[in-house]
Structure 1
Amino acid sequence: MFDILMYLFENYIHSEADIFVNQDDLTDELTKAGFHKDEIYKALAWLEKLADLQESHVKPYLTKASSASIRVYTDEEMLRLDCQCRGFLLFLEQINVLDFATREMVIDRVMEIDSPFISLDDLKWVVLMVLFNVPGQESAYAQMEDLIFDEQEGPLH
């Protein structure tokens, strides 16, 4: 499923191609690209839920948090996001790429990925996808994009 999300992000969203593609046409294209239909439907549902997270009535906790609060991860989240991933999320908050709401959106989307473990590289792409889809986060998106694509110069944190 994550491969499909990456394919869609690189070929439609990040390339600024026409993102108003008919879902049937998109499913056909992804099938021709070698993806299985059940994985395609999971990826499309993942993207729909990402869009839904912008609505405060869907996830009301996104509007109620103190900037001084500390995130405590559940056991399931800790299994999915290792120490390096959790540290990276904290780093992104410290440099103001993520705020509490976008952090929670990232964690929500990570927990919906059909994988028992999320690598740091996969997490970075989820962060990028979330920031791209949240209005008003253009600066954070650009900063995250710089972090991802300027990696060859050294470690991020």
Structure 2
Amino acid sequence: MYDILVYLFENYYTPQACPKADVLAHKLAAVGFEHDDIDEALGWLHGLAQSSERFAPIELSSSSSLRAYTDEEYHTLGSEAIGFITFLENSGVLRPALREMLIERAQAADESPVSLDRMRIIALMVLWSQETEVDHLLLEELLNGEQSTLSH
């Protein structure tokens, strides 16, 4: 699934540039991705779109907030992922709504705790989905993590 997410980021400048799910599935299969991975990635992306709608009211309500993690979230995400979320917040990239989207999408991932490399990809996709401007150095940090994930 993560290879597909990275492929989408690298090949489609914005989410709107992506074809509809059925056409995208055919394109991904033609490139050589496995059908199970395609289904998982498309399901994850559908959840990302739903998260955008669900957390939109948070975006309007405040520009800053304090986030306390539940025991379940801490167990699912792990300290590395939570530390990375905090880093993104402190960098000014992650507004409260994006933070909540990131947490929700990380919890939908297929591992617990979420590895830092996978968390970078999830963050990259959340920011990409919202067409968020990302500082060049931060983008490099996200992409460096992505490259080490793909080499495993």
Residues 1-157 of structure 1 mapped to structure 2, 5 A cutoff = 1-10=1-10, 12-14=11-13, 19-55=17-53, 58-59=54-55, 62-63=58-59, 64=61, 67=64, 69-135=65-131, 137-138=132-133, 140=134, 142=136, 144-149=138-143
C-alpha displacement of 1:101: 1.2
Q: Does the C-alpha gap of structure 1 residues 21 and 61 become closer, same or farther in structure 2, counting only changes over 3 Å?
A: closer
TM-score (norm 1): 0.72
Q: RCO greater where, 1 or 2, for CA within 8 Å and sep 6 or more?
A: 2
Question: Do the aligned partners of 2:63 and 2:95 also contact (CA within 8 Å) in 1?
Answer: no
In the alignment of these two chains, the number of paired residues is 144
**Retained in 2: the 8 A contact 1:128–1:141?**
no
The verdict on how the C-alpha distance between 1:65 and 1:20 changes in structure 2, with shifts beyond 3 A counting, is: closer
In the alignment, the residues of structure 1 paired with residue 95 and residue 137 of structure 2 have an alpha-carbon distance, to the nearest angstrom, of 13
Report the structure number with the largest CA radius of gyration. Answer: 1
Give the 3 Å change call, closer, same or farther, for CA 24–95 of structure 1 in structure 2.
closer
Distance 1:127 1:5 in 2: 11
* Unaligned stretches of 5+ residues in structure 2: 146-152
The structure that is helix-richer by fraction is 2
Give % identity. Answer: 38
1:124–1:148 Cα contact (<8 Å) kept: yes
> Gaps (5+ residues) in structure 1?
152-157
CA RMSD of aligned residues (A): 3.0
CA contact (8 A) 2:77 2:112 kept: no
Distance 1:149 1:22, change over 3 A: closer
